Amino acid sequence: MGGRHAFTWTTQVQFVPSLETDLAVTSCGSGLVCRTLLGVRMIHRLIFLDMDGVLNSGRWMQSDGYPMRSPLYTVGHVDPAAIAALSRIIELTDASIVVSSSAWNAEQVWSVLKARGRVDLSLRIIGETATSWTGHDHHMRRGLNIQKWINGNPEISKRFVIIDDSSDMGHLRPWWVQTTWNEGLTETEADECVRRLTRKQ
């Protein structure tokens, strides 16, 4: 059993998430988490998941015949190819999802992922990060909100990747797997996520 790591705003990249840590989930911060975890699920690996530019993309929107940034996309259009790539990551790593989008909350993502993918991706969602940017440097605001979630959930945050097309990760940039707005999540980034989530440390 490993010990807890110190996640703070100032220690930055000094902590090393450990695959060996094997703590049971004993508490949860929201009803969504409770419903998902049922108090027994072990969380070893996490994906902080953005949506726009990850599960949808400029290429996908154009090919699907809808105008860019159509409101329709905010209520359910996600790219099946990106869903397949995310499914493969989860099949190979058993990772859980924390929604880290600034535009989508966990309930919205849950509704569009329900019964989607080779695994039911909605069942993997355990929470969402805050989306407040007030006072945050624009180069690190997403990273700060992810760090805030990690600080609040040290018992279930062990090893993680951040999948996002935006670069505002600040000190968490080493955990960032970059997608592009035009392509979204492809098998190339999925391979990188699997590699990072399963490598020995």
Q: How many residues bind Mg ion (CB under 5 A)?
A: 4
Give yes or no for residue 50 binding Mg ion (CB under 5 A): yes
Give yes or no for residue 128 binding Mg ion (CB under 5 A): no
Q: Among the candidate windows 7-15, 47-55, 76-84, 137-145, which touches Mg ion by CB under 5 A?
A: 47-55
CA triple 130-74-89, angle to 5 deg = 70
The correct pick among 53, 127, 143, 184 for binding Mg ion (CB under 5 A) is 53
Residue 113, H or E segment:
helix 106-113
The correct pick among 165, 168, 183, 189 for binding Mg ion (CB under 5 A) is 165
Cβ-based nearer residue to Mg ion, 52 or 189: 52
The correct pick among 7, 36, 47, 52 for binding Mg ion (CB under 5 A) is 52
Q: Which residues pair with 46 in a beta bridge?
A: 96, 160
Cβ-based nearer residue to Mg ion, 18 or 58: 58
Backbone angles phi, psi at 99, to 5 degrees: -75, 125
Minimum CB–partner distance for residue 82 and Mg ion (Å): 12
Half-sphere exposure of 125 (CA within 13 A, CB side): 28
Minimum CB–partner distance for residue 78 and Mg ion (Å): 13
To 10 degrees, what angle do helices 187-198 and 80-93 make?
A: 20
Minimum CB–partner distance for residue 89 and Mg ion (Å): 17
DSSP state of 55: T
Q: Classify each residue of 47-61 as buried b or exposed e, where b means 16 or more C-beta atoms within 10 Å of its C-beta.
A: bbbbbbbbbbbbbbb
Minimum CB–partner distance for residue 97 and Mg ion (Å): 15
Cβ-based nearer residue to Mg ion, 165 or 189: 165
Helices (H), 22-72: 31-37, 58-63
Closest residue to Mg ion: CB criterion: 53
Q: Retrieve residue 76's tokens.
A: 């359910």
Q: Residue 200 and residue 178: Cα distance in Å, rounded? A: 22
Minimum CB–partner distance for residue 118 and Mg ion (Å): 24
Give yes or no for residue 189 binding Mg ion (CB under 5 A): no
Which amino acid appears at position 200 of this protein? K
Cβ-based nearer residue to Mg ion, 32 or 54: 54
Residues 75-104 that bind Mg ion (CB under 5 A): none
- Give me the residues that bind Mg ion (CB under 5 A), please: 50, 52-53, 165
